[in-house]
Amino acid sequence: MWLYRVLLFLLTPVILLKVRKFKKNYEHYRAKEALGFWPVVEADLWVHCASVGEVLAVRPLVTQWRAKYPSKRLLITTMTPTGAEQVQKAFPFAEHRYLPMDWRCSVKKAFKNLVCKRLVIVETELWPNLLQQAKRHGLRIDVVNARLSDRSFQRYQKFSIVSRPLFALPDCFLAHAQADGSRFEALGAKKVLVTGSIKFDLNVPPEVLQANWRGQLGSRFVWVGGSTHQGEDDMLLRIHKSLQQKYPDALLILVPRHPERFDAVQQLASQHFERVTLRTQTPLDQWANFDVVIGDSMGELIHYYQASDLVFVGGSLIKRGGHNPIEPALLGKAILVGPYTFNFLDITDQLLQVNGAIRCQDEAQLGKVVIDLAGQASQRFRLGQTAMRFAEKNQGAVTRVLSEMDFR
More confident position, 177 or 248 = 248
pLDDT grade, residue 130 (50/70/90)? very high
Domains of the chain, residue spans: 23-201+396-405, 206-393
Average pLDDT of the residues of the chain: 94
Class in CATH terms, 23-201+396-405:
alpha beta
Residues with Cβ within 8 Å of residue 7, at least 6 apart in sequence: none
Q: Name the pLDDT band for 104 (thresholds 50, 70, 90).
A: very high
- Whether 399 shows a pLDDT value over 80: the answer reads yes
What is the rounded distance in angstroms from the CA atom of residue 255 to the CA atom of residue 213? 15
Please determine, for residue 408, whether its predicted confidence score (pLDDT) is greater than 70.
Answer: no
Tens of pLDDT, residue by residue over 323-346, are 999 999 999 999 999 999 988 888
pLDDT at 231: 96
363 is an active site residue: no
Q: Please determine whether the domains at 23-201+396-405 and 206-393 fall in the same fold group of CATH.
A: yes
Identify the CA nearest to 279 among candidates 267, 297, 265: 297
Residue 8: is its pLDDT beyond 90? Answer: no
pLDDT of residue 208: 95
Checking if the pLDDT of 162 tops 90, the result is no
Percent of the chain whose predicted confidence (pLDDT) is above 70: 99
For 59, what's the count of Cα atoms within 13 Å in the CB-facing half-sphere? 23
**pTM of the shown model:** 0.79
Q: Which of 33, 54, 123, 232 is catalytic?
A: 54
pLDDT average, residue stretch 247-258: 97
> Mean of the pLDDT values across residues 230-246?
98
- Asked if 76 and 95 touch (Cβ cutoff 8 Å), the reply is yes
pLDDT band at 364 (very low <50, low <70, confident <90, very high): very high
Q: Which of 49-53, 91-95, 117-121, 349-353 is the least confident region?
A: 49-53
Domain formed by 206-393, architecture? 3-Layer(aba) Sandwich (3.40)
Instruction: Report the pLDDT value the prediction gives residue 9, as an integer from 0 to 100.
Output: 85
Structure confidence by residue, pLDDT tens digits, 269-306: 999 999 999 999 999 999 999 999 999 998 899 999 99
Q: Which residues contact 301 (CB under 8 A, 6 or more apart)?
A: 226, 227, 255, 295, 327
13 confidence band (pLDDT: 50, 70, 90): very high
Q: How far apart are CA 274 and CA 63, in angstroms?
A: 44
Contacts of 56 (CB under 8 A, 6+ apart): 86, 90, 202, 299
State the helix-helix crossing angle for 128-136 and 104-111, rounded to 10 degrees: 40
